[in-house]
């Protein structure tokens, strides 16, 4: 992964981190708007449980973004995360919806700082992470 891409992702995430709870809420609202069927995978009717889910999401994203400087350590973590998501009934096709919801969330959270260059950096980074997760999770699936 290019150094410039990592810098753009890390610098833009630093601007979103202070509004993590709001960003998580935006993310899940967008995710469920894009695919209402995904609500069944989450405790969507339980506000406190969804806040906890949002906290997990933002903590994971924060760790992943920080880990971009050391992909050798990040890749096994992403592989394990991908495998765990199979247990939660996550399908490979859901990763595209998650990616779209993430980009929309970043656009809302960053406003005019969500430039085309930042968007491309996030899309590229998410695609790498999602590919690692999906490969680990579904490599033995026919």
How confident is the model over 68-94, as pLDDT tens digits? 999 999 999 999 999 999 999 999 999
Contact 107, 114 (CB under 8 A): yes
pLDDT at 141: 55
Rounding to the nearest 10 degrees, give the CA dihedral for residues 77, 79, 85, 91: 150
Contact 39, 65 (CB under 8 A): no
Average pLDDT score over residue span 36-58:
93
Residue 45 pLDDT exceeds 90: no
Joined together, the tokens standing for residue 23 give 């960003």
pLDDT at 142: 41
Give me the residue label for tokens 């350590």. Answer: 73
Give me the residue label for tokens 């202070």. Answer: 18
In the Cβ-directed half-sphere of 132, how many Cα atoms lie within 13 Å? 17
pTM listed for this prediction: 0.93
Q: What is the DSSP string of 69-106?
A: T-HHHHHHHHHHHHHHHHHTT--TTHHHHHHHHHHHHH
Architecture label for domain 3-138 = Orthogonal Bundle (1.10)
Give me the residue label for tokens 């085309």. Answer: 116
Domain boundaries, the chain: 3-138
SS (H, E, C) 11-29: HHHHHHHHHHHHHHHHHHH
Joined together, the tokens standing for residue 88 give 């939660």
Cα 49 to Cα 36: distance, rounded to the nearest angstrom = 18
pLDDT at 139: 84
Joined together, the tokens standing for residue 32 give 């469920």
């Amino acid at each position: 992964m290019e150094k410039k891409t990592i810098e753009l992702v890390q610098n833009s995430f630093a601007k979103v981190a202070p509004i993590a709870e709001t960003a998580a809420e935006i993310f899940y609202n967008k995710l469920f708007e894009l695919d209402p069927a995904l609500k069944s995978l989450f405790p969507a009717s339980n506000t406190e449980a969804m806040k906890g889910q949002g906290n997990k999401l933002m903590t994971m994203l924060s760790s992943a973004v920080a880990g971009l400087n050391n992909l050798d350590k990040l890749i096994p973590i992403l592989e394990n995360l991908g495998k765990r998501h199979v247990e939660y009934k996550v399908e490979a096709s859901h990763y595209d919806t998650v990616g779209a919801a993430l980009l929309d969330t970043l656009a809302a959270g960053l406003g005019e700082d969500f430039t085309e260059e930042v968007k491309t950096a996030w899309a590229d980074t998410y695609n790498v992470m999602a590919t690692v997760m999906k490969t680990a999770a579904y490599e033995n699936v026919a």
